Amino acid sequence: MSGSNTPTTKVNTGGDETMHITEEYKECVIEEIVSAAEEESSAPPPGQLLDGYDDIDMHYVERGPHGYGIYGFGERVEDPWEYLPGGHHPVHLGDTFYNYKVINKLGSGGFGTVWLCRVLEKDPTEYVALKIIRAMNSGEDNAELLNVRRLLKLAETDPDVEKYCLLPLDRFELEGVNGVHQCFVYPVAGQAVQEIWNNVKDPEEYLRSLTRQTVEAMAMFHRHGICHGDFRPSNILLRLDGLNGAREEEVEDLLGPAETLEVIPFTNMDKNAHPPGYLVKAVEFDGHFNARFASDKICVIDFGECFEISNPPERGAIPYEYASPELALADQCGTPSDIWALATSIFEIRTGYKLFSMEALNMYSAGKRHYKSREHPTTYAYWIINKCGMLPEPFWSKWSPKWRKWELRYGVPVEEVEERSLDHAQVRLETIREGTSRKVGHLLRPLRAKRGWRASLTDEERMLFEDLVFKMTDYDVSKRLTMEEVLRHPWLSYGVGKASLVEVHTTEPVHVNVRQPYGSGNDASFEHNEVQCTTAGTLEVEDVDMAEAPATVIPDPVDGPQQNGLEAGFSKGDIHQQSVEINLPQSQESSTPAAQEPSKFGPTLELNVVREGVFAVSTWLRTTVGKAFQSMIA
């Protein structure tokens, strides 16, 4: 498999040895020469500092291609070089848009920036999240606007839409120096579930609850014929409870002072560039803030990549760490790629670790730098083969030579490279077990406990969870679990008690067509407001007037009746008795993946989905699984 028939060229090195250069190596060298030339050609022309900036230490200035730079390390900020026509709107602390006053930044991304605002003239205080979309993405046919309108329409008949989606309270257009921007006003949500820092009653049940809600959320999208398209932990937030009504000074004390990066203009600054005087770093919610305001309910955000299941886009946009092979390497979007993203998300929520973490490929060899960015297809192929094993065809033929080349560059022995590419199921199972066997990575502390909580999954839960994730990440999309099969998996009922039931029902899909013209959604909720803006106009944060203003409370979204289980895509009247097989992963000493060999515990466990749509999980399952595991390790 290693390419022993690969053509090579002999090169005399001037000594007693001859170097054999493969055609693959030649291709790699050519790629690196082209990349180096592109980097050199994109370097900004030289420019001088403007008057008044002479004391700036240029060692700490990151220069961009449009004649300005930023002073400091650009983390937790948007792309600094997108303040051109069609790009971001420049925002300063203290700016007001309509009746929303900016007091801090909540986040940023490729499509816009999100700001924590206080609603003026409201008493008691009220806070909202203002999302300002880039001008180039703010047309009347932009996907986020269309999808939000359709979700609002669906929420009129399905309470789960409001329960699991962060829906806007208001919308307006903002005309600025870089164009016209769509602006959405949302309830303020808290930290993302990728790294949870909180005080909770029962850490294990808390994480299982968040994970179940995440599954329920995707089930809701699929039930209505929608793929989210960018489903990952950073787009799943904790709802806040009690923020409205808190004094502005109290909120500022809990969040800490806003962190900024000064924008440094040069003499050759592009006349079309309109950056702000400083960039604001997104806030980081710490344990004190979360203990005060964070709830145990999730909400999904960022609907710009949603699409109708029957009408997928030509390209996907999810980061590679959450992308399935068919999506990352062939742009094949659909429910299977959503299921893969769900698997990586619930793994990260439950364990606190990324399932398939990926870093840029970067090394020096023979005095030359070899580099591929984290979002380069070669980087994805390298890491997914290392973590999941041999890719299916036609991907293997195309990407295995590049993978081998990087493995050999990193000094991996040839025989180990060959061995790693043989059994893809076993490699993937080992990757899953590596994460589930570690202590949970979230920073959680039980209530009234003096110390933090760090524990691994129990043996019983670990077996079930590994089986679920393993089946949700099958290379073969025809074998990958469907949403209905995920909801019927026994892990979803683990730990909820024998009285807990999983209600299963279906409605006919309501297809969301993101290509429909604007105006087909909930017009009553989206009045077109004329925006009134005032700008603080200062480069220094401490000079901005942060005087408090009165405000009122928006009631928290009504969650509706709480259910003890998960909703799937079946109606009660259509349910027939059926069974679900559970192939439990074997012990870590075993060399055969659970999905490929019957359990050595004896007969396969079966759980019945009984009449009336009730998925009963009784105590005999937990007892049987526990005894089976004990017999396995004995």
The residue out of 292, 307, 322 marking a domain boundary is 307
What is the structure's pLDDT at 206? Answer: 95
**Cross-strand bridge partners of residue 12:** 18
What is the reported pLDDT for 267?
Answer: 82
Which of 50-59, 88-97, 464-473 has the lowest average pLDDT? 50-59
- Written as six digits, the tokens of 212 are 């179940």
**Domain CATH for 355:** 1.10.510.10
Structure tokens at 51: 């008057």
Structure tokens that stand for 334 in this block: 């659909």
* In a shared domain, residues 51 and 130: yes
Within a domain: 531:
no
Burial of 492 (0-12, 13-18, 19+ CB in 10 A): buried
287 and 331 inside one domain: no
In a domain, 54, yes or no: yes
Coil, helix or strand at residue 549: coil
Q: Are residues 208 and 354 in the same domain?
A: yes
Please give the residue range of the domain that contains residue 254: 43-190+240-307
**Are 248 and 155 in the same domain?**
yes
pLDDT at residue 566 above 50?
Answer: no
Euclidean distance between CA atoms 63 and 585, whole angstroms: 51
Q: Which two tokens stand for residue 12?
A: 């005399």
> Binding site, residues?
131
How far apart CA 566 and CA 582 sit, in angstroms, is: 18
Domain identity same for 274 and 376: no
Q: Which residues are annotated as a binding site for ATP?
A: 131
Helices 424-436, 459-472: axis angle to 10 degrees equals 140
Domain boundary residue among 263, 287, 307? 307
Report the candidate in 11, 37, 31, 21 with the shortest Cα–Cα distance to residue 408. Answer: 21
Q: Which residues pair with 186 in a beta bridge?
A: 129
Instruction: Tell me if 113 sits within 8 A of 131, measured CB to CB.
Output: yes
Q: What is the pLDDT of residue 19?
A: 42
* pLDDT value of residue 400: 87
Q: Assess if residue 288 is contained within a domain.
A: yes
Instruction: Specify whether 342 is located in the same domain as 415.
Output: yes
The answer to whether residue 108 is domain-embedded is yes
- 170-176 and 179-187 beta bridge pairing: antiparallel
CATH number at residue 90: 3.30.200.20
Identity at 57, one-letter amino acid code: D
Q: Where are the alpha helices (DSSP H) in 129-232?
A: 143-155, 159-164, 203-223
Do residues 303 and 133 touch, judged by C-beta distance below 8 A? no
Residue 311 has pLDDT above 60, yes or no: yes
Q: Are residues 290 and 204 both part of a single domain?
A: no
The verdict on 260 and 317 lying in the same domain is no
Q: Which residue has the higher pLDDT, 366 or 469?
A: 469
What is the count of structural domains for the chain? 2
Helices and strands counted in the chain (H then E): 15, 28
* Residue 151 located in a structural domain: yes
- Is position 422 within any domain? yes
At position 185, the amino acid (one-letter code) is: V
Q: Are residues 279 and 383 in the same domain?
A: no
Q: Are residues 350 and 473 in the same domain?
A: yes
pLDDT digits (tens, 9 = 90+) for 355-399: 999 999 988 777 788 899 989 999 999 999 999 988 988 998 899
Q: Cα 123–128–131 angle (5° rounding)?
A: 150
> Which stretch, 226-240, 434-448, 450-464, 553-567, has highest mean pLDDT?
226-240
Structure confidence at residue 181 (pLDDT): 96
With respect to residue 37, please indicate whether it lies within any of the assigned structural domains: no
List Cβ neighbours of 347 (8 Å cut-off, separation of 6 or more). 353, 354, 355, 432, 435, 469
Report how far residue 60's alpha carbon sits from residue 47's, in angstroms, rounded to the nearest whole number. Answer: 16
The rounded distance, in Å, linking the Cα atoms of 493 and 507 is 23
Buried/exposed 311-339: b ≥16 CB within 10 Å, e otherwise: ebbeebebbbbbbbbbbbbeebbbbbbbb
Transcribe 375-441 into DSSP letters.
TSHHHHHHHHHHHH-SPPTTHHHHHHHHHHHHHHHTT--HHHHHHHTT-HHHHHHHHHHHHHTSPP-
Query: Do 179 and 144 fall within a single domain?
Result: yes
Threshold 0.75, pTM exceeds: no
Cα distance between residue 341 and residue 318, in whole Å: 9
Q: Percentage of the chain surpassing pLDDT 90?
A: 50
Q: Which residue has the tokens 């710009």?
A: 304
Could you give the dihedral angle defined by the CA atoms of residues 235, 133, 150 and 314, in that order, rounded to the nearest 10 degrees?
-80
Highest mean pLDDT (candidates 28-32, 124-128, 285-289): 124-128
Owner of token pair 């202590």: 439
The CA distance from 113 to 304, in Å, is: 13
215: in domain: yes
Mean pLDDT comparison of 52-66, 348-362, 412-426, highest-scoring range: 348-362
CA distance 438 to 454: 10
Q: Is the torsion defined by CA of 26, 28, 31, 36 positive or negative?
A: negative
Helix (H, G, I), strand (E, B) or coil at 8: strand
Return d(Cα 265, Cα 363) in angstroms, integer: 34
Under the banding of pLDDT at 50, 70 and 90, the label for residue 469 is: very high
Cβ neighbourhood burial of 179 (10 Å; 0-12, 13-18, 19+): middle
Does residue 244 share a domain with residue 226?
Answer: no
